[in-house]
Structure 1
């Protein structure tokens, strides 16, 4: 078993250390150029879309609004990686890792825009709602259903099953450490809550996500801002330290510049998932008048996950300088750092945040699997079997160490990202043309642009936009 785990770790080091970093950065720059830096030029429009009162008012009969779709994808993005992952990155890669997290979010946001816009273009009807994602545009745009099935299997295993085991594991460990609650008891609580939500379908998932995500995100941001305010004199020095370490000018890490670069980019990718093919599953579920709406909404989610949540964790860890203590890592480092600033409450607060972060990730990850299970087979029996395995993996992850399954999930997610990135590069022209159509309508004074498939030359199989 140790040999197998070592082999998987070696494969992940090559995949994430070379192939994916190069692919994501190069394609992120390519999509940024082709979309004329849409991730920066349309920020105001992103906020307008998620706060659209008309969108929320029309959200009836099981339909998913833009805001709910935003919350589902953000729920999956914002997990333990935004606390423990960032703390690990800073501990191993030094303060400079934070800079590279920021950079990968800014560049990768363009890839996120393209994949989510494509998901909307090629979505399919699912009762009163919709479903879609990479598997669907692989079948409809490339005419390669077999590739879509491979992708569906990869994302269902990595997100729907294994990642949920990891999330559950983090929760039970954090609560055992902070409150002394038995891991089995906490695991049973998680299983009960997960069962209650996932058997309610996409509508219940959307409703739970739109309540949990804004609440815990704002609570975490407020506490981080409190730490910053209490230490405002140290902020210029922290920013200087980040920049100096980012380029190896003042490296204090074992691997120097390389360790800083790799840790920052890898943890940044884990936090925002841009280009990996996960967020498009949530984007496709939304009711929208134009595909570009969801491209913009999901791009904002990338910024929230990395530029806001991860930055909050980074500042909490960097201000007391606890990252330099090699005896601390992950959750323990974040808990120690916050407790040093606001007392023992910090330890409890981190544990509570981990619970909310992880539970929202579990239900967000579950939906990604559901959407892809339904791509392969729409049988209710298949869906219920999948739900049973999700619940079983939550309980499994609550009780055991999951280093091997975490490494397997990394491998599957890496393969998933490569397949998705190659696909959206081939069919990205449809997203570029859809963006031009959206901007043209806005230039004419149309507040809510309406998309028609016939407006895009060569676009076929966009069945939900034929009228």
Structure 2
């Protein structure tokens, strides 16, 4: 076990630790991790190749969202429903506790760099989601369609007529995803049980049992997942957004100083002298990358399931999902924290810090509200990741209900254990899994990007000719 743990920690450090550091003025250093080294340049490259898609086509993203939905084939979901599923998993604890941690470690300036990574990540999200649409397959078990990185990676490495049945890289991606989502299940349950104990003094065992039972009822039914998320995700996102707007209006006089603080600290005007600019940039960038998941290959597992008239449409919808996650929900969490007097939260971290800030703004109701909203965020994340797991289980083990059901049961067990256990290194499975997914996904994304770019060109030409 100790050897396994040592290997695991080495992989974790290789993915998320600093591969090298760059010295900066004022004694600061900029640590560069492998994932930052992969994702930031990729985001810049794809933004240029798509001719600055996040800025140029943002109105088109909104138009597609409001577009009238055509009736989908049985078992299939619409493009907007695929966006809701991916939003369910993006909008999770990272938007609450993760943002708080980024600001605690990197200061207010970390928020600016989260915004930057979202703008860059939107183009990457477009490429991977469009590829997932291009290479989707019919799903014989659930109906509709399925796909994702495992499937387009397969097409890259396994040519038609080849005796090879599967691609090693595609297998590694699918395994990494299943490992990641089991790790996330544990963290989800622990955060929820902690929040409910703080808010209501409910013992973790009771909260965990309720979470597992409700989740089991949903995930073990064939078509319940998307129907539930269709209701839960919009409600939780709108509620969180509205309460944040209320808090911002209530503290309107402080907003100019908060935004000034964000921009001053983002560029190290204050941090450079203290040698902290590197922490500001990296905490913001890493949190932004982890939160919006662009490039990790998660969201394409939902994007492939969409029954939509053009692959580029789903790509644009998933690019919009990155904006919703980081520019809206993460910014809400940042505002809640930054509008709280600094001395009030000294020595606090994680859920305790977040609930303290909400208690400051909304009294006892704030503590209860954040516990309930975290329950909704976490519940929807768990439902969403099991939707992601479907095509990957099928790629690894074939089309059978046994393997699909066994993975769901394993995830439910992880959910139960996580609600009762204190932190263990097993929780880092989520970080390691998403890191490995990103590496394997990006291996295919660069050589295959031209197909997504061709799809974008075709879509824009058809739009122009019809207008």
Question: Which of 188, 205, 217 is the matching residue for 2:225?
Answer: 205
Relative to structure 1, the CA distance from residue 439 to residue 266 in structure 2 (aligned partners, 3 Å threshold; closer, same or farther) is same
Q: Is the CA contact 2:345–2:356 (under 8 Å) kept in the aligned structure 1?
A: no
Structure 2 partner of 1:266: 286
Structure 1 partner of 2:36: 21
How far residue 362 of structure 1 moved from its aligned partner, in angstroms, is 0.3
Structure 1 residue runs without a partner (length 5+): 447-467
Residue 52 of structure 1 pairs with residue 67 of structure 2: yes
Question: Which of 441, 447, 454 is the matching residue for 2:462?
Answer: 441
Residue 97 of structure 1 pairs with residue 144 of structure 2: no
Structure 1 partner of 2:171: 149
Residue 223 of structure 1 pairs with residue 243 of structure 2: yes
How far residue 402 of structure 1 moved from its aligned partner, in angstroms, is 3.2
How far residue 322 of structure 1 moved from its aligned partner, in angstroms, is 3.3
- Distance in 2 between the 1:136 and 1:64 partners? 19
- Distance in 2 between the 1:146 and 1:98 partners? 38
C-alpha offsets along residues 409-466 of structure 1, whole Å, 9 cap, x if unaligned? 21221121011112101110000000000000000016xxxxxxxxxxxxxxxxxxxx
C-alpha offsets along residues 345-402 of structure 1, whole Å, 9 cap, x if unaligned? 1111100010000000001111111220011121211111111101111101111023
How far residue 7 of structure 1 moved from its aligned partner, in angstroms, is 4.7
- Distance in 2 between the 1:196 and 1:189 partners? 11
Residue 277 of structure 1 pairs with residue 297 of structure 2: yes
Structure 2 partner of 1:63: 76
How far residue 142 of structure 1 moved from its aligned partner, in angstroms, is 3.1
Structure 2 partner of 1:294: 314
Structure 2 partner of 1:454: none
Structure 2 partner of 1:30: 45
How far residue 253 of structure 1 moved from its aligned partner, in angstroms, is 11
Q: Is the CA contact 2:17–2:34 (under 8 Å) kept in the aligned structure 1?
A: no
Q: Is the CA contact 1:77–1:305 (under 8 Å) kept in the aligned structure 2?
A: yes
Q: Is the CA contact 1:317–1:323 (under 8 Å) kept in the aligned structure 2?
A: no
Q: Is the CA contact 1:28–1:108 (under 8 Å) kept in the aligned structure 2?
A: yes
- Distance in 2 between the 1:324 and 1:254 partners? 23
How far residue 61 of structure 1 moved from its aligned partner, in angstroms, is 2.3
Structure 1 partner of 2:450: 429
SS of residue paired to 2:271? coil
Relative to structure 1, the CA distance from residue 323 to residue 137 in structure 2 (aligned partners, 3 Å threshold; closer, same or farther) is farther
Relative to structure 1, the CA distance from residue 413 to residue 255 in structure 2 (aligned partners, 3 Å threshold; closer, same or farther) is farther
Structure 1 partner of 2:85: 72
Relative to structure 1, the CA distance from residue 150 to residue 329 in structure 2 (aligned partners, 3 Å threshold; closer, same or farther) is same
Structure 2 partner of 1:126: 139
Question: Which of 373, 378, 381 is the matching residue for 1:361?
Answer: 381
Q: Is the CA contact 2:156–2:444 (under 8 Å) kept in the aligned structure 1?
A: no
Q: Is the CA contact 1:80–1:357 (under 8 Å) kept in the aligned structure 2?
A: yes
Root-mean-square deviation over aligned CA pairs:
1.9
- Segments of 4+ in structure 1 off by > 3 A? 1-12, 14-17, 252-255, 321-326
Question: Which of 267, 270, 276 is the matching residue for 1:247?
Answer: 267
The worse-fitting range, judged by mean Cα deviation, of 140-149 and 168-177 is 140-149
Q: Is the CA contact 2:43–2:123 (under 8 Å) kept in the aligned structure 1?
A: yes
How far residue 321 of structure 1 moved from its aligned partner, in angstroms, is 3.2
C-alpha offsets along residues 176-227 of structure 1, whole Å, 9 cap, x if unaligned? 11101111111111111111111123x3211111111100000000000001
How far residue 268 of structure 1 moved from its aligned partner, in angstroms, is 0.6
How far residue 6 of structure 1 moved from its aligned partner, in angstroms, is 5.7
C-alpha offsets along residues 123-177 of structure 1, whole Å, 9 cap, x if unaligned? 0001431000000001113326221111000001102x11111111110110011
Q: Is the CA contact 1:8–1:408 (under 8 Å) kept in the aligned structure 2?
A: no
The worse-fitting range, judged by mean Cα deviation, of 363-372 and 136-145 is 136-145
SS of residue paired to 2:18? helix
Structure 1 partner of 2:432: 411
Structure 1 partner of 2:57: 42
How far residue 251 of structure 1 moved from its aligned partner, in angstroms, is 2.2
Structure 1 partner of 2:408: 387
Q: Is the CA contact 1:76–1:361 (under 8 Å) kept in the aligned structure 2?
A: yes
Aligned length: 442
- Distance in 2 between the 1:83 and 1:304 partners? 14
Q: Is the CA contact 2:197–2:204 (under 8 Å) kept in the aligned structure 1?
A: yes
Structure 2 residue runs without a partner (length 5+): 20-30, 159-165
Q: TM-score if structure 1 supplies the norm length?
A: 0.91
Relative to structure 1, the CA distance from residue 445 to residue 343 in structure 2 (aligned partners, 3 Å threshold; closer, same or farther) is same
Relative to structure 1, the CA distance from residue 335 to residue 141 in structure 2 (aligned partners, 3 Å threshold; closer, same or farther) is same
How far residue 22 of structure 1 moved from its aligned partner, in angstroms, is 1.8
Structure 1 partner of 2:328: 308
Structure 2 partner of 1:192: 213
Relative to structure 1, the CA distance from residue 275 to residue 207 in structure 2 (aligned partners, 3 Å threshold; closer, same or farther) is same
